[in-house]
Structure 1
């Protein structure tokens, strides 16, 4: 987002413009913006999570990849350390004079403009209504759906294949073969399936069920899928933009708390829930590694928010176990719970905390979606809804590797890592998933040092400890309380 600093009328009146490039959850960004506000200097915050395309422009201007990067008109101040140093040395007044006395030159960083469609929505909703969606509505009105019994089992909210064919022949003016082909197409398009998922559509005494009639806990089957199937990467980007709108209005500036009550009542959340239904029929097995990472990280974080709104947060250990193993979306006709997304897809089908086996068996159709290698940086991007989690943000496929490195850098340089003498305290995330970061404590500490910002004080303190191997590690208590705003 482009965010004005929101200072009161006693703020300085500037001819020029102060620009801060930032990302959600970055402690240095937060310090820089807080200091500008203390000094009553108005600024424009360009959030690179919302405008990832501007990252390349920032890097070209600064020759740096870290944030924040601060400009006074076209004069580059630098990051937080540069800001503090300029104040200490008395050179900050030169930058302030630049914007106090001069208009914004053409070569200064420009503020981006949100591109929106005529509907006012910046999501690409150019995909039309799927013709088989109308067939679903007609079937629902036909009286075909009911409870059917076979071999002492009762199949609720189902319809019989031969009865559907009879109805299509009578009402759609088609041959029996054409009607059977239409039934098969209905199944292939993932609007419905056989009640036990064991075969295709048949013109006989076989039971089928529409997806939204499943006895499923998936949170995105409240509405049927309506649109022609979108490529997964495109649907992911549309969902990301909707999520970004929600975060803009209901996420705290540091990305650590959510106004769940306000979000639940918003039109944006209702729009998100409806669009999430389109996940039911998207094809996720053909995405690239970058697309898979961005897609499933964003979906995981959105699913946690969705579940906290609709079900409420888990309180006890048992509720948390149930939460991560049952909260799910229907994606491409398959159920993915939070454990499946994290451990099955993003950790390359590894056992998670408390699991006795990997999420996907060799015959599981979801295995083809799993990454071919574990990506340890996901642990600094996935947000389970607890206060000890990393900040919430969204991720883009083209920039996913850089965005994950920045997320790791910000998280590790925050409260997740502490140094007191030769004692290093770490977030329990680094204990629970220790094998993702290294084979022993030295490799884990080396991973942390490598991913801390080059200017970090913690990095400077940890490097000699790592070299001497004279240190001990303790793990912090994990705060499971909800990251909701009061």
Structure 2
């Protein structure tokens, strides 16, 4: 009888712990959902601020899980930071470098999240060709492990008018979600001159050209995604509009 009661207590405790376990991917999605719906997001901010490196590394095991989580975190905190203090955008360099997102026992900047975690320790100003070495433990544990995912450039919203819209991402459907956002954004940003075979598209292709396989790779992407009817011979770039523009949200169809 005593063993039976102990067994019941054990499984009851285990069930309670399981029910109370925080799923940080869900928290990041809820954060963005509340921002979009103009509801309170303080609970989600607090949960993320109290997370530890062990919490995140035990949950985010694959690159897909990591990217979906960090896309939602980045886009959510961009909205929060600039809603709270839009004047910070007047010095964009300082804005992106400033540590402000408390998570995993660290206070991260937007540059940390984008270039160190999602772009696998790339030097920000190098067209993507240079990597950083001898990185801190948190970065090595949280960053992606495999090949760099170039489609994140069409999913990250930095608060400017020319940025891709904000959407909510999930690990389960990330590939199709990124394909949808890439296609929609590039269609909106790209024009093609069939006589000169020149595509004019977003400056992101130039700034992060190594991520796309160079400019040749960028031209191939435009053809592969049927943004242009053929692979362009030349690629020109539009001026990036850095006018502050918040609340640019897009729903990804099921």
Q: Report the Cα offset of residue 407 of structure 1.
A: 1.1
TM-superposed deviation, 1:313: 4.5
* Contact in 2 for aligned 1:282/1:331 (Cα 8 Å): no
Higher helix share: 2
Residue 246 of structure 1: aligned partner: 35
Q: Displacement, 1:315?
A: 4.0
Q: Secondary structure at the match of 1:330?
A: strand
- For residues 304 and 282 of structure 1, do their structure 2 counterparts lie closer, same or farther at Cα, with a shift above 3 Å needed? farther
The structure whose RCO (Cα within 8 Å, separation 6+) is larger is 2
Match of 1:236 in 2: 25
- 1:277-306 per-residue CA deviation (whole Å, 9 max, x = no partner) reads 333566222422111011111001011111
Q: Match for 1:483 among 245, 248, 251?
A: 245
- CA–CA distance in 2 between the matches of 1:333 and 1:270? 18
Query: For residues 80-120 of structure 1, what are the alpha-carbon distances to aligned partners after superposition, in whole Å with 9 as ceiling and x for unaligned?
Result: xxxxxxxxxxxxxxxxxxxxxxxxxxxxxxxxxxxxxxxxx
Residue 448 of structure 1 deviates from its aligned partner by 2.0
Counterpart among 298, 309, 330 of residue 102 in structure 2: 330
- Structure of greater Rg: 1
Question: Given that residues 343 and 359 in structure 1 are in contact (C-alpha distance below 8 angstroms), is that contact kept between their aligned partners in structure 2?
Answer: no
What is aligned with 1:273?
Answer: 45
Q: Which of 123, 144, 150 is matched with 1:371 structurally?
A: 144
Which residue does the alignment assign to 1:474? 236
The structural deviation recorded for 1:350 is 1.2
**Alpha-carbon deviations, 1:165-217, whole Å to 9, x = none?**
xxxxxxxxxxxxxxxxxxxxxxxxxxxxxxxxxxxxxxxxxxxxxxxxxxxxx
Give the Cα–Cα distance (whole angstroms) in 2 for the partners of residues 401 and 411 of structure 1. 15
SS at match of 2:86: coil
Match of 1:459 among 225, 228, 236: 228
Q: Which runs of 4+ in 1 moved over 6 A?
A: 354-357
Cα deviation, 1:46-68, whole Å, max 9, x if unaligned, reads: xxxxxxxxxxxxxxxxxxxxxxx
Secondary structure of residue in 2 paired with 1:284: helix
Change over 3 Å in CA distance of 1:481–1:360 after alignment to 2: farther
Deviation at 1:126, TM superposition (A): 5.2
Query: By percentage of residues, which structure has more strand?
Result: 1
Task: Normalising by structure 2, report the TM-score.
Answer: 0.78
2-structure distance, mates of 1:355, 1:418:
23
Distance change >3 Å, CA 268–CA 362, structure 1 → 2: closer
In the alignment, structure 2 segments of 5+ residues that lack a partner are 1-17, 248-254
- Residue 450 (structure 1) aligned to one of 224, 227, 232: 224
Give SS of 1:409's match: helix
Alpha-carbon distance change, 355 to 430 in structure 1, aligned in 2, over 3 angstroms: closer
Q: Which residue of 1 aligns with 2:156?
A: 382
Counting only pairs closer than 5 Å after superposition, residues 9-408 of structure 1 correspond to structure 2 as: 127=20, 230=22, 234-247=23-36, 249=37, 263=38, 267-279=39-51, 283-286=55-58, 287=60, 288-316=62-90, 319-353=91-125, 358=131, 361-372=134-145, 373-408=147-182
User: Which stretches in structure 1 are left out of the alignment for 5+ residues?
Assistant: 1-124, 128-228, 250-262, 453-457
Equivalent pair of 1:307/1:327 in contact (CA under 8 Å): no
- Tell me the C-alpha RMSD between the 2 structures: 2.6
Displacement of 1:370: 1.3
2:152 & 2:211 partners in 1: Cα distance? 10
Q: Deviations over 1:223-261 (max 9, x none)?
A: xxxxxx73xxx12213312421331x3xxxxxxxxxxxx
Taking structure 1 as the reference length, the TM-score comes to 0.42
CA contact (8 A) 1:426 1:475 kept: yes
Question: Which residue is 2:190 aligned to?
Answer: 417
Q: What is residue 203 of structure 2 aligned with on the other side?
A: 428
